[in-house]
Structure 1
């Protein structure tokens, strides 16, 4: 448990760092580039995020799961065979995807083709990304430290080189090359864990079947998490895309912190007995729901002041979008407990796939009818409905693997506590002229109210928080 705690801590620190970086760059870039240029970047970036799925071939999931099991049951020779044999799938798929992307851009000169070419290093980073190996070994320290260093360099370059809308190409190049270098750094230490390259793919038939099973939901997921921006760009201008993309930005930052729990716990659940999995699932669901509702209501209560303060006055039209997008902070982590920590950890790949495939279909249909008439607001409605459908399906499809009454016993209390805290935040007066201080005070009050009501309700998870706090105090 100590190692699991340290891994969660490493991931939490890294995810917090990933939150802090945009807190520096996004306000700067939103003002320097403006909604129009930022919308172009959003469309191109999300198109590349979709293409990166074909470079990775779900090896991040398969590899983390496989390495986690091999390290516990087999020797170094099998670990070497598993690493190289799995990466060969990734290397081949990446080469094909990159070649096709370059040819299409050069031959057909599609919309924003030049910006897409500047994004090619992103695809190369996906091809050489072996962070899944270290995650499977539960060696998160290396993942955190090396990526942190690369991110810091990229922030400095952005602030030094990107000065006006015409510098969009510089921003794209800095982001894509820094991401590529972030993938390369993992290779410096790989010889400490595995031997030289092997000659064959790892369990070709079995891995190919897993790739096909998981690739479909990965593509489906990207349809409603990445392609939603380019789809909106087909029907609306780049400014609408910028409003839509930036309205999700804070929610996505927070989701990175919460879902890091899933990233750490999935390898653990893959190697645990069924009885232990039941307890881990309950605690994980309570932790994600608590964090999700807490962060969601705090962001909602501050949205009206936050948008002009953080993004600038020209982004005020997206205030309502950001308010409602915050609901994803609750829905996505809850579904992730059943999808990532349970379905994938227990090799129930089809059960993982079905909800997101249905979600992708609903997203395409809803976007077609809503984006044309309602722009960014229509795209927001489409994604919220889709995420709710996916959440319900994820809970339902693996219902035979857990006891609903046991796992969800305390969950309604967190929703009630969240509503009360939200009410406090909405009626709390702005007593100081500074928007930043007002938001800080309001957030602190809501945080205290949330924790106080948790203690009053005497929830099971309270004991875990108390034990954790006592251990920290004892160590310090």
Structure 2
């Protein structure tokens, strides 16, 4: 799927956002079709090669790989980047919601036993493919007829090559950690490590959506306006990252046996510290996706990810054998921290560090105070669920109260957002 999309999602999003702000509908048409041609050709070739290889050599689970080919077709026809570039996120969210609900409904209806694995695979792949096709139903309302050539062929080709490398590197250091751990340790250690990430990864999906929304905004704005947007976006990301991290950390001891069961109590410390990725990854994304990509600094985007891929593999090989899941955790946190520092440092010439980071240390101080209070709160009720709920409410109240005591500039943005929501509901 990475080879099918060829990084066109990133290139297309920023290109469409710029054209939307400055150019005509004719150039919008040329950009859309000219960029999608790269995706279409790459997707067709990748799908044919994959199907041929799997069918000819009969690799293990070859029949399931063939049932997964709709995933590749979906990547070939996925033009969500066009609507994201137009800042029309409603269609993307609606599409994803329909796909998820449909697939869940069909799974509950049709998948009854292990023998229905092929049904499960087909439901997942076909629903994803049909979700991509949905975007094409009204594309002619936005662009004209297909054009003949590629869009800025040499420039786009160079961007694709530059951005494809970090995408592959990302797959390496986000996917190889578990196989490496499994090579040196048993399945129990892998299970502890894998499950300790689940809650953090769910929250990451929410926070990193800010980056997705803000990237087209950054790409369409002038350098002067970008500074203010970058500062606000960073503060929003740090605020959400720290408040979610503190809530999860304070509840980890109760949450693990409640949600996973007593057998998973040994992974409590893993989950506690893995929560730090909720801060590290989204903050790095602010400077990578919103700043580097939005300003066509593709090499500056690629370098930290490639360094991270190499570092993750080296640390995993060194630490996993001796310390198991703990070693894998140290590898991940070290890698993400190094990647974050590189992302901030490598684009330092494009923003004023003191201005952008002026209030950030205060957010970490607030988070530390809130965490200490949360860890020392007693169990007020016998119900673990209710106890965690009350503790979370207290922690968030303390955090928000401290924010307004520090009188951040960002507080006014929060007040304005709440007022808008109240007026809309009214």
Q: So what's the TM-score if we normalise by structure 2?
A: 0.93
In 2, Cα distance between the equivalents of 1:161 and 1:377? 39
In 2, Cα distance between the equivalents of 1:255 and 1:432? 30
Tell me the residue number matched to 2:305. Answer: 356
- 1:136-155 equivalences under 5 Å are 136-155=85-104
Tell me the residue number matched to 1:201. Answer: 150
1:472 paired residue among 412, 418, 421: 421
Tell me the residue number matched to 2:208. Answer: 259
In 2, Cα distance between the equivalents of 1:395 and 1:166? 49
* Superposed displacement of residue 217, structure 1: 1.3
Q: Which runs of 5+ in 1 are unaligned?
A: 1-51
Number of residue pairs matched?
Answer: 425
Q: Structure 1's 74 and 337: CA in aligned 2 closer, same or farther, altered over 3 A? A: same
1:157 paired residue among 106, 109, 112: 106
Tell me the residue number matched to 2:36. Answer: 87
In 2, Cα distance between the equivalents of 1:432 and 1:162? 39
Tell me the residue number matched to 1:57. Answer: 6
Tell me the residue number matched to 2:81. Answer: 132
Q: Which runs of 4+ in 1 moved over 6 A?
A: none
- 1:3-14 equivalences under 5 Å are none
Q: Structure 1's 96 and 366: CA in aligned 2 closer, same or farther, altered over 3 A? A: farther
Q: Structure 1's 77 and 444: CA in aligned 2 closer, same or farther, altered over 3 A? A: same
Q: Structure 1's 376 and 182: CA in aligned 2 closer, same or farther, altered over 3 A? A: farther
1:419 paired residue among 368, 380, 383: 368
Does residue 293 of structure 2 align to residue 344 of structure 1?
A: yes
| 1:339-362, Cα deviation, whole Å (9 max, x unpaired) | 111111111111111111111110
In 2, Cα distance between the equivalents of 1:320 and 1:119? 37
* Superposed displacement of residue 452, structure 1: 0.8
Higher relative contact order (CA 8 A, sep 6+): 1
- 1:31-430 equivalences under 5 Å are 52-110=1-59, 113-163=62-112, 167-236=116-185, 240-430=189-379
* Superposed displacement of residue 383, structure 1: 1.4
RMSD of Structure 2 on Structure 1 (CA): 2.1
* Superposed displacement of residue 275, structure 1: 1.5
Q: Structure 1's 237 and 98: CA in aligned 2 closer, same or farther, altered over 3 A? A: farther
In 2, Cα distance between the equivalents of 1:79 and 1:386? 39
* Superposed displacement of residue 95, structure 1: 2.2
2:381 paired residue among 410, 427, 432: 432
State which drifts further: 316-325 or 150-159.
316-325
Does residue 409 of structure 2 align to residue 460 of structure 1?
A: yes
| 1:165-186, Cα deviation, whole Å (9 max, x unpaired) | 5555444333222222221211
Tell me the residue number matched to 1:42. Answer: none
Q: So what's the TM-score if we normalise by structure 1?
A: 0.84
SS of 2:208 mapped into structure 1: helix
Tell me the residue number matched to 1:450. Answer: 399
In 2, Cα distance between the equivalents of 1:254 and 1:235? 29
In 2, Cα distance between the equivalents of 1:162 and 1:424? 46
In 1, Cα distance between the equivalents of 2:386 and 2:255? 11
SS of 2:320 mapped into structure 1: helix
Q: Which runs of 5+ in 2 are unaligned?
A: none
